[in-house]
Structure formats: structure tokens, C-alpha cells
Amino acid sequence: MDIQILLAESSRLFSQKAILQKDIPLLRDIVREHNRLYYQQESPVISDEEYDRLFSQLVEAERRYGDFDPESPTSRIAVAPDEQFQKRPHATPMLSLDNTYSIEEIRNFEARIRNILKTDEPIAYCIEVKFDGLGISLSYERGQLVRALTRGNGMEGEIITQNIMTDQNIPHTISYKESVEIRGEIILPHDEFTRINEARKQAGEKLFANPRNAASGSVRQLDPKVTKSRKLRFFAYSFPHLEEPETRALFGSKTGISVSTYSQYIAALERLWFETSGIFFERAKNLEALVERLGAITAERPRLGFDIDGLVIKVDDLNLWKHLGLTAHHPRYAIAFKFPAKLARTRIQHIIHSVGRSGIVTPVAILDPVLVGGVTVSRATLHNYSELAAKDAHEGDTIFLMRAGEVIPEVVSVITEARDGNEKRVGVPEKCPACETPLEQETGKIAYFCPNRTGCPAQLQGGLETFAGKHGMNIDGLGKKQIERFRREGFISDMASIYHLYVHRETLVNMQWLGEKSVENLLTSIENSRHVPLHRLLTALGIPNIGRRTAQSLAIFLAQSINRNDTEKPTGERLLKIFSSLSAEDLESIPDMGPVASQSVFAYFTARESTLSRLFPELHIILPDISFEGIIEYSLSEKTFCITGSFDGMTREQIIEIAKSAGMRFVDSVSKKLDMLVVGEKPGSKLQKAKSLGIPTMGIEEFLAQIRDHEH
Ligand code: IVH
């Protein structure tokens, strides 16, 4: 099916309240086509959530109209196995799992079970993670691994034995000598995914949209050497031999391991040296206990280091499995509790070139607004032009979008199949979009920048926003909009002119844009900001590569220079003189200042001498007390932090690593001494405890922003 039509029809059908009977055959074709793209091409064109919605629309419509068909994708996974591999039928079909996104539906799941079993007794469950990888089947004969198959269409799979042999955690021999089959999932850990995509980017190859596609692409390789070079992991969750009472008894008699529950079944797999969901596996004695644990287990998600797309709930008692049986699509003893999608699909309307305060020009995608993880996103940075070229994103492209670490929306990949020829490639602009100065590229760097340091309105706007912002001079009422308007009306032309705004009091009030009270408040706020600690002023200047911590070191260094050598008062002018007399070597001797930071300070002061010579006299600069070791007011150094809950798209380790690089210390429990608690989705008891101890809590967004401000 043509991808354009597929996408258009998919959108039409999943937004439709109820599917008409006449649309059922079309919907079946559509689901089949998405299956083919997902399983065979490793190149889906819709998000998982969209697929699940289409699929349940179809289930619902078939039920409503009693329109059943053994060929429907709801009855079988109708994907033709790929031609390039040899096929082989599975011993028993490899089924799918029933899906849900809500706790209410888990209750319905139990109600259905009770209905079949006709019982009111508590039912015990196991909870394990739902690996987001590629289902495969391994066959062992006399203890030897003889064959590996992909799931294929569920009935027959592709033979991938050679490729799988290179996988480090798949046992080639097992101690149990009966003919058995083990099923499970092949996944690609996050670090390995990043490494592979990095290499593909270097080689100019198409990037994998996610670790699952990468795992699939790695296993279904014609060259096993390629598979070997990628560190895949296999997790076992299915051992059909233990599901039939007779073979289960045989297993018990041969191994001395008796198995009557799924918990024991998993333990048996581990005894045969298979990796399973291990420490993320839990047993719950009844539905209530199960529901209570879902949040806490989900919170552990970041610790895994690989993708999961939900949890799988299975009835613990294996004897009940037989009773409950299977549908053509899934077993009735299990259900998947899926996480809301973090990948969304949308379209790039335009690519704009945004000029920041340091003059660097960044391509930014303006998107059809789309909901990702509960937030509407309408723009996404493409970081730089080499990234833009690597992603091959065009205006008009349909893309997958992700919110990394719940913060920065990112274009993951382009759905090139969805192109209709009207897309427009966007390259590096020749001139600054704000001031038309020809752009330059620093030698050896990727970034392009506008060299018009003092005259570019975009750099001025960005610089003024930073200057007046919360971590800068903290001038209330002087945000982006006000700065824009004051610049347009000619009230503000640089940092110093902010301090002359009072001259225009009458005009500002008469403009009737801001109320009289707001004008008063703004002017007071500006006046108050004249008294400023030196390190804060240095941060406010927005010198590239100078974060809050470096600004402190620089402030201390300057204060020392003044006290040591000068009898003169530390006026702005005096400071400026000291700055101008500093050499790059002097700057490099300052703690925390590397060559990049010192070069940056040097360049900043050289280029802006006249602007600063107007600004400094307006201020009352407060020097740090150097009898005191450092100013810790804004320092994150040595601050302790703890984490609770999970963070979409970001592992706990990643967060800890970022914070450690800012000098912070991670502690794993909440006590009176803790400085802050970072709260993610589904937080645990730590949150309650922190609140009761009055410890500051913050979301990941705020936490990362704090580190970013501190670092840069
Ligand atoms: S049990 C009869 N357990 O998810 C199906 N499946 O979306 C038995 N999956 O086809 C499957 N993690 O490939 C099971 N812990 C887990 C799983 C799991 C991932 C996969 C499996 C299945 C698919 C359904």
C-alpha cells in the first residue's frame, strides 16, 4: 500500500468514533501493512500508541458487527516472513499479548479470568517487565542449541541460528537434555544503541529510530559478523515444556526441580543459565497487591539500561493457564500493562534558523503541535546543521518525535517513506536571518555563527533576556516580550540603557501598554538590581562557557587582584581596567577555568569593551568576601541529591552522571541532611519523607536546568 494513502487512511480511521462495517476490510489491510512495516522493514511509520489504537478499533468493530475472519490480523499476526531468510514453522504459534494502558482494564482482566474459572478465591500474579525488543524462539536438542527463529508471522519464522550464535548471553548448551524450546526477547541496551547510531551517523547511514528497530536490524542481518559486533541481550520468558502437566512432571523427575507456578518456571529458566527479568520480577498475592506494586516497579525502569514498553502480568498458578487457554491472538492468563508512548508522530512545517545570544545559529523544526508524554510540543531543536544533514530532515517531512528526559523535544527520525516529493531541503543559511551578516564557521567546529557581535538584533535580544533573567540581574517584569517591545520603540539598545529607562517613565505610562503600577514595579526592580554581587553580574553577562560556578571563581580572582594591588575603589571602571589587563594565561590560572573558558572571557571583554564601559558605571558591584573560602550561594558543588520515581527517556544512571559532573553527590536515601529530591513519574515514599522533613523537591526539568545554568 502506498505510504501516503496508508497514513491518510490510518489517521482517518483512528480518529473515527466508530468504525463502519464497510471499513473493516480496509482497516484489516491497514493493520497488516503496519505489521509488515514494523516486523519486516524495521521501519514503522506510526507510533506504537497509534498502532494499538487502530488494532483495538478493529477488535471492537469485528465484535460489534460479529464480523470474524480467521485471516484478520486480530486472529493471526499476518506478516509474511521476509524472503531473504529461510523459513520454518513454529512448533506452536508464537502469540502476542493482550494490551492495556489502564488499571481499570487490569481489573477487567481479572473479572474475565474469574468468569472463566468461576472462582472468588484470590488469584496470585507475577509481574515482569515487557521487553521492547524482538521475540525469538530457541530450540535445544540433547542440550545443544540447534535453531533460532524470529517470531515472523507467529506461525512461521525466519531462521537466524547463525546470527544468534554470536550472542553472548544465549547458552549454546543447557544441562537439560530433552528437546525443548525457549522463547524470549532480544534487546539492545541503550549504550549500545547510542554507539551504533553514532557509527551510522559517521558513515552517513540511516539512523535507527529506536533500540527495538536496531535490535531487529541487527538480528536479521545476512552477515553474522555484523550481529556479532553488536552487544545484544536475550531475556527468556517462555518455556512451553513447563506448561503441559506431563512434560512438567518429566522436567521435575529429570532435574529434581518441581515447577507448579510461573515464579518457579522463571527460576527453572535461570537454573538453565538463561537471563530473565530477574530483580524486576515480582509476585503479588492478589489483584490489590498487584495494583499497588505497579507504580513502584515502573519507577525502577530507568535502572534497566534498556527499553521496556510496559509490564507483563501473568497468573502465577500454571494449572490455571491450561484452564484459561488462548485466543488466536493471545493467552488469557497474561496481559501487558503498557506505558504511554514517548514517541509521537508529527510533521515539520518549517525549519527556522534561530540566533542565540552568542551568535550561534541553530536550526529549529516548527511542528504540527503534537502530544508527547502529556505535553504539547510544537518545536524541536535540530541542534546544528550537521545533525540536520545526518537526520536528513526536510520541511514537510513526517517525523518521529521524542521528549528526551521529559525535557527537550527531539526529532528522532524522518519517516522517509511518507515523502510525497513536496518536501524542501534546508541547508545552512548564508546570512544571519536577523542582521544579514554573512555567517562564519569557527575552524574545527560544527557551529555557524553570526560574527556581528554588537550589532545583531537577535544576539542583543538573547543577551538582554539572559541579562535580565532569573539567574542574571533578576529584573522582575523585564521578560522576552517587554525587551522586544522596548527595543522596537527605541527605549533599550543595550544593557546600560536598561538603567536609563526611568527617564521614559511618563511615556511608558502613556503608552498604556503596561499599567502604571507595572511600570512602577519594573522601574523599582531595575533600581534594585543596580546592587549586584560580582559573580552574579558575570553570570548575567552571559559569557559563553561561563557558568555560575566559573563566574564565582572569576569573581574571587578579581577581588583578590583588587585587594592585593589596589588602593583604588572597586568601581566598575576599575574592574574593567583589570579585565582589559588580564592575559589569557592569567585567566587560565583561575580554578575551574580551562583554556576554552578563558579564551571565551577574553574574547567577550575585547569585543564588548564599549558596551561594558557604559554598563559598569551604572552598577554598584559588590565584591565577594575573600576572607571566606568561596561563595556558596549558587554553588551546587558538594550538594547532595536523591531521586524518586522514573524519568521517561532518561536512566537514573544518566541523571546521576550529569549531576556528578556538576560536583553534586548522589545519596540513596532521604535524611535531614539531604539538599534536594528529584521527583519523577510515580514517586515512591521518599517524596513523602522529603516533604515531611521540609527538603526542597523539584522535577527533572528544573533539576537539569539548574545544572545547565551552573555549568554554562
Ligand atoms: S509472554 C504468548 N512476557 O511482547 C505470548 N512476552 O506484545 C507470551 N514480550 O509477543 C509472551 N516481554 O514478544 C511475554 N515478559 C514478557 C515479554 C513479552 C516482551 C513480547 C513478546 C510478545 C510481545 C507482545
Q: What is the CATH number of the domain that holds 36?
A: 1.10.287
Final residue belonging to a domain, choices 402, 427, 449:
449
- pLDDT, tens digit, for every residue of 364-388? 999 999 887 667 889 998 988 988 9
What is the CATH number for 318? 3.30.470.30
Residues 290 and 404 in one domain: no
Could you confirm whether 338 is annotated as catalytic?
A: no
- Give, for 35, the enclosing helix (H) or strand (E): helix 24-35
Contact 51, 79 (CB under 8 A): no
Whole-number Å distance, alpha carbon 127 to ligand 1 midpoint, is: 12
Whole-number Å distance, alpha carbon 97 to ligand 1 midpoint, is: 6
Distances in Å between the Cα of 463 and the Cα atoms of 15, 380, 454, 514, 621 are 45, 22, 10, 23, 20
Residue nearest to atom 18 of ligand 1 (CA): 130
Whole-number Å distance, alpha carbon 415 to ligand 1 midpoint, is: 27
Residue 411's closest CA among 375, 383, 446, 386? 383
Whole-number Å distance, alpha carbon 133 to ligand 1 midpoint, is: 9
Measured distance CA(655)–CA(650) in Å, rounded:
7
Residue 378 lies in a domain: yes
Atom of ligand 1 nearest to the CA of 336: 7
Residue nearest to atom 12 of ligand 1 (CA): 130
Atom of ligand 1 nearest to the CA of 334: 1
CA angle, 111 as apex, 77 and 277 as ends, to 5°?
Answer: 55
Residues in Cβ contact with 443 at an 8 Å cutoff, skipping those fewer than 6 apart: none
Residues in Cβ contact with 488 at an 8 Å cutoff, skipping those fewer than 6 apart: none
371 - beta bridge partners? Answer: 376
Whole-number Å distance, alpha carbon 238 to ligand 1 midpoint, is: 8
Residue nearest to atom 16 of ligand 1 (CA): 130
Residue 499 lies in a domain: yes
Residue nearest to atom 15 of ligand 1 (CA): 130
Look at the block and give the residue holding cell 549586584: 532
Can you give the pLDDT at residue 245?
A: 94
Residue 538 lies in a domain: yes
Number of domains, the chain: 6
What is the CATH number for 563? 1.10.150.20
357-388 core/surface letters (b: 16 or more CB in 10 A; e: else):
bbbbbbbbbebeebebbeeebeebebbbbebb
Can you give the pLDDT at residue 628?
A: 44
Mean pLDDT of the chain: 86
What is the CATH number for 391? 2.40.50.140
Residue 62's closest CA among 116, 19, 108, 7? 19
Residue nearest to atom 22 of ligand 1 (CA): 96
Measured distance CA(390)–CA(119) in Å, rounded:
58
Final residue belonging to a domain, choices 490, 514, 529:
529
Residues 354 and 327 in one domain: no
DSSP-assigned states of every residue in 98-154: -EESSHHHHHHHHHHHHHHHT--S---EEEEEEE-SEEEEEEEETTEEEEEEE-TTS
Atom of ligand 1 nearest to the CA of 326: 2
DSSP-assigned states of every residue in 200-253: HHHTTPPPPSSHHHHHHHHHS-S-HHHHHTS--EEEEEE-GGGTSHHHHHHHHH
Radius of gyration of the chain (CA): 31
Residue 515 lies in a domain: yes
Q: Which of 35, 39, 131 to mutate to test the pocket of ligand 1 (most atoms within 8 A of CB)?
A: 131
Q: Beta strands 676-679 and 640-644: pairing type?
A: parallel
Look at the block and give the residue holding cell 518521529: 400
Q: Widest CA span of the chain, in angstroms? A: 96
Atom of ligand 1 nearest to the CA of 129: 15
Can you give the pLDDT at residue 602?
A: 83
pTM of the complete model: 0.52
Residues 200 and 282 in one domain: yes
Whole-number Å distance, alpha carbon 405 to ligand 1 midpoint, is: 26
Domain that holds residue 404: 343-449
Measured distance CA(339)–CA(37) in Å, rounded:
22
Residue 70 lies in a domain: no
Residue 71 lies in a domain: no
Can you give the pLDDT at residue 546?
A: 86
Whole-number Å distance, alpha carbon 96 to ligand 1 midpoint, is: 6
At residue 267, the 3 state secondary structure works out as: helix
Can you give the pLDDT at residue 115?
A: 93
Q: Which of 51, 74, 237 to mutate to test the pocket of ligand 1 (most atoms within 8 A of CB)?
A: 237
Residue nearest to atom 10 of ligand 1 (CA): 96
Can you give the pLDDT at residue 637?
A: 65
Ramachandran assignment for 645, one of left (phi > 0), alpha (psi -120 to 50 degrees), beta (any other): left
Q: Which of 99, 233, 312, 326 to mutate to test the pocket of ligand 1 (most atoms within 8 A of CB)?
A: 312
At residue 190, the 3 state secondary structure works out as: helix
Measured distance CA(188)–CA(306) in Å, rounded:
7
At 579, list the grid cell: 579585565
Can you give the pLDDT at residue 632?
A: 36
- Give, for 697, the enclosing helix (H) or strand (E): strand 697-699
Atom of ligand 1 nearest to the CA of 238: 1
122-155 core/surface letters (b: 16 or more CB in 10 A; e: else):
ebbbbbbbbbbbbbbbbbbeebebebbbbbbbbb
Final residue belonging to a domain, choices 605, 626, 647:
626
Whole-number Å distance, alpha carbon 330 to ligand 1 midpoint, is: 10
Measured distance CA(57)–CA(51) in Å, rounded:
10
Atom of ligand 1 nearest to the CA of 331: 2
- pLDDT, tens digit, for every residue of 40-77? 777 888 988 888 889 888 988 988 888 888 788 887 65
Can you give the pLDDT at residue 17?
A: 79
At residue 652, the 3 state secondary structure works out as: helix
**Residues whose beta carbon lies within 6 Å of some atom of ligand 1:** 95-97, 128, 130-131, 135, 185, 237-238, 312, 331, 334, 336
Residues 389 and 278 in one domain: no
Measured distance CA(687)–CA(25) in Å, rounded:
51
Residues 140 and 207 in one domain: yes
Residues 372 and 519 in one domain: no
Whole-number Å distance, alpha carbon 312 to ligand 1 midpoint, is: 8
Residues 288 and 308 in one domain: yes
Residue nearest to atom 2 of ligand 1 (CA): 95
Can you give the pLDDT at residue 76?
A: 62
Q: Which of 130, 181, 324, 327 to mutate to test the pocket of ligand 1 (most atoms within 8 A of CB)?
A: 130
Residue 490: HSE in the Cβ half-sphere, 13 Å Cα cutoff: 1
Residues 161 and 295 in one domain: yes
At 110, list the grid cell: 481479572
User: Which positions of the chain have pLDDT values less than 70?
Assistant: 76-84, 222, 340-342, 373-374, 403-407, 563-573, 625-638, 649, 661-663, 708-712
Residue 239 lies in a domain: yes
Q: Which of 17, 130, 660, 673 is catalytic?
A: 130
Measured distance CA(681)–CA(647) in Å, rounded:
6
At 485, list the grid cell: 517591545
Can you give the pLDDT at residue 306?
A: 92
Phi/psi at 449 (5° precision): -140, 160
Whole-number Å distance, alpha carbon 112 to ligand 1 midpoint, is: 20
- pLDDT, tens digit, for every residue of 557-588? 887 777 655 555 556 667 777 777 877 778 78
Residues 289 and 352 in one domain: no
Can you give the pLDDT at residue 629?
A: 44
Residues 148 and 266 in one domain: yes
Q: 3-state secondary structure string, 362-404?
A: EEEEEEEEEEECCEEEEEEECCCHHHHHHHCCCECCEEEEEEE
Residues 166 and 185 in one domain: yes
Residue 161 lies in a domain: yes
Measured distance CA(124)–CA(285) in Å, rounded:
4
Residues 211 and 223 in one domain: yes
Residue nearest to atom 21 of ligand 1 (CA): 135
